């Protein structure tokens, strides 16, 4: 087992990784920007190294500075968390070339499954269901040709995309030129490549994802599904597990399909396969070769510490259990709490004047916020995750309602009021929502006002 792990991230996920390490008897190294000198993970880690100014490009995305910090402190492994360099194959390769273990898949696996076009081909070969789609599109004429072959509506996507960037929908030939041009422009601005491709656009799908764990010896298990359909601008807002849209036969079927696919692909460590689900059918969307923001809901229903398992697998340990040993219990819901205006979604950095996290049975809060902490304006606005667990979905709904009422964050605006509003809507309570529901609901609410 590792003796010292460097945590190449910030915020609540850095603290989450620190806690898992300490419970395993592993010492931790926090790296931080100048703006994060007072962050909680920095204060709790065994060692801390400043790796640059506030700007991410100069700190959390600075590969050389992070590896230098690992060498100087004698860290024998690096955990990248999510975001930043977590799916950067070049970084993983650099880490391994310096004799340090990267806690995640290999660079080759990352390149294969992180690139949406090659991942799609790998998914087809591994037996995963996919939507009709195209290869990379070099011109507008290519886009028009494939759109007519696939059938409108279609969605043009950046091959390196994520978070809703580099994605544009076209409903006819009249839309294609603009959609293609804008998707490539967004991809060029946000990602390493401006290459785009096309898929059939599903009108009212759910976003269902499957969490997997795989060791280096070919053993694979899935930890059930998460429903991530409550989204705004393709950004997840609320997640839950299991999905209220699936019956037991459907979840067992897709779980086994995913497990066998990962065996064929030869992937190891933690990973998530994302699907669109419509009219009883699954369509592979992409694979995330890292830890997910919403991993706590899976931990709640499976009882498995996913971060701990990532570390064990990276150290060379076998899973030590089979699919039949995984027992799912109850229902879990996660609310992503952002420091944003709940109406305009404008980021609201600033000083926390009062902080009170909810507690009680089945309530978990992942955050490194504390009273007196100043939220820097340079990073993602998510400041906390509220996770609740109950024996049934109804008990989880009652618990999340109560927990949100207890949650106090003063000094900045947050999205807590939005979460309270969402969970009180009949469609959400009944589980009758899709990936467009939240945006449609917010539009109708504005019209009524």
pLDDT per residue as tens, the chain (449 positions): 999 999 999 999 999 999 999 999 999 999 999 999 999 999 999 999 999 999 999 999 999 999 999 999 999 999 999 999 999 999 999 999 999 999 999 999 999 998 888 898 999 999 999 999 999 999 999 999 999 999 999 999 998 877 678 999 999 999 999 999 999 999 999 888 999 999 999 999 999 999 999 999 999 999 999 999 999 988 999 999 999 999 999 999 999 999 999 999 999 999 999 999 999 999 998 999 999 999 999 999 999 999 999 999 999 999 999 999 999 999 999 999 999 999 899 999 999 999 999 999 999 999 999 999 999 999 999 999 999 999 999 999 999 999 999 999 999 999 999 999 999 999 999 999 999 999 999 998 877 66
Which of the residues 10, 290, 364, 399 is marked catalytic?
290
Compute the distance between CA of residue 151 and CA of residue 137 in angstroms, rounded to an integer.
Answer: 16
pLDDT for the residue numbered 190: 87
Compute the distance between CA of residue 15 and CA of residue 40 in angstroms, rounded to an integer.
Answer: 7
Q: Is 290 a catalytic residue?
A: yes
Domains and CATH numbers, the chain: 4-103 (3.40.50.20), 132-200 (3.30.1490.20), 206-448 (3.30.470.20)
Closest CA to 218 of 326, 319, 312: 319
**316: alpha, beta or left? (left if phi > 0; alpha if psi -120 to 50):** left
Beta-carbon contacts of 322 under 8 Å, excluding residues fewer than 6 positions away, are 219, 221
Beta-carbon contacts of 237 under 8 Å, excluding residues fewer than 6 positions away, are 230, 231, 335, 336, 415, 418, 419, 422, 438
**231: alpha, beta or left? (left if phi > 0; alpha if psi -120 to 50):** beta
Buried b (16+ CB within 10 A) or exposed e, 201-224: bbeebbbbbbbbbbbbeebbbbbb
User: Where are the extended beta strands (E) located within 76-164?
Assistant: 77-79, 101-102, 154-162
């Amino acid at each position: 087992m590792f003796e010292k792990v460097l945590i190449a991230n910030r915020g609540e996920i850095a603290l989450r990784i620190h806690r898992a390490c300490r419970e395993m008897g592993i010492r931790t190294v926090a790296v931080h920007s100048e703006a994060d000198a007072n962050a909680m993970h920095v204060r709790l880690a065994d060692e801390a190294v400043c790796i640059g100014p506030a700007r991410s490009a100069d700190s959390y995305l600075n590969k050389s500075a992070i590896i230098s910090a690992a060498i100087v402190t004698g860290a024998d492994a690096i955990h990248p968390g999510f975001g930043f360099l977590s799916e950067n194959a070049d970084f993983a390769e650099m880490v391994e070339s310096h004799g340090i273990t990267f806690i995640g898949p290999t660079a080759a696996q990352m390149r294969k499954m992180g690139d949406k076009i090659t991942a799609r081909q790998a998914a087809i070969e591994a037996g995963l269901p996919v939507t009709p789609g195209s290869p990379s599109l070099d011109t507008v004429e290519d886009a028009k040709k494939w759109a007519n072959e696939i059938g409108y509506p279609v969605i043009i996507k950046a091959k390196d995309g994520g978070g809703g960037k580099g994605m544009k929908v076209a409903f006819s030939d009249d839309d294609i030129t603009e959609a293609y041009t804008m998707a490539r422009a967004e991809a060029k601005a946000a990602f390493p490549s401006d290459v785009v491709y096309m898929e059939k656009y599903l009108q009212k799908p759910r976003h269902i994802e499957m969490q997997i764990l795989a060791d280096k010896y070919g053993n694979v298990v899935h930890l059930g599904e998460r429903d991530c359909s409550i989204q705004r601008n393709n950004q997840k807002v609320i997640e839950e597990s299991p999905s209220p849209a699936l019956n037991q036969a459907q979840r067992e079927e897709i779980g086994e399909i995913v497990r066998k696919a990962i065996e064929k692909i030869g992937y190891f460590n933690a990973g998530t396969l994302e699907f669109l689900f419509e009219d009883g059918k699954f369509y592979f969307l992409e694979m995330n070769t890292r830890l997910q923001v919403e991993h706590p809901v899976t931990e709640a229903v499976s009882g498995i510490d996913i971060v701990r398992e990532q570390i064990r697998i990276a150290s060379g340990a076998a899973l030590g259990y089979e699919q039949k040993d995984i027992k799912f219990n109850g229902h879990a819901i996660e609310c992503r709490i952002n420091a944003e205006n709940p109406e305009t979604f404008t980021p609201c950095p600033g000083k926390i004047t009062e902080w009170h996290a909810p507690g009680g049975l089945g309530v978990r809060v992942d955050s490194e916020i504390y009273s007196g902490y100043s939220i820097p304006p340079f990073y993602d606005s998510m400041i906390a995750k509220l996770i609740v667990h109950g024996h049934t979905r109804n008990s989880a709904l009652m618990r999340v309602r109560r927990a949100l009422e207890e949650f106090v964050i003063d000094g900045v605006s947050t999205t807590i009021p939005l979460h309270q509003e969402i969970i009180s809507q009949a469609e959400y309570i009944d589980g009758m929502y899709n990936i467009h529901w939240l945006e449609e609901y917010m539009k109708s609410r504005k019209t009524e006002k």
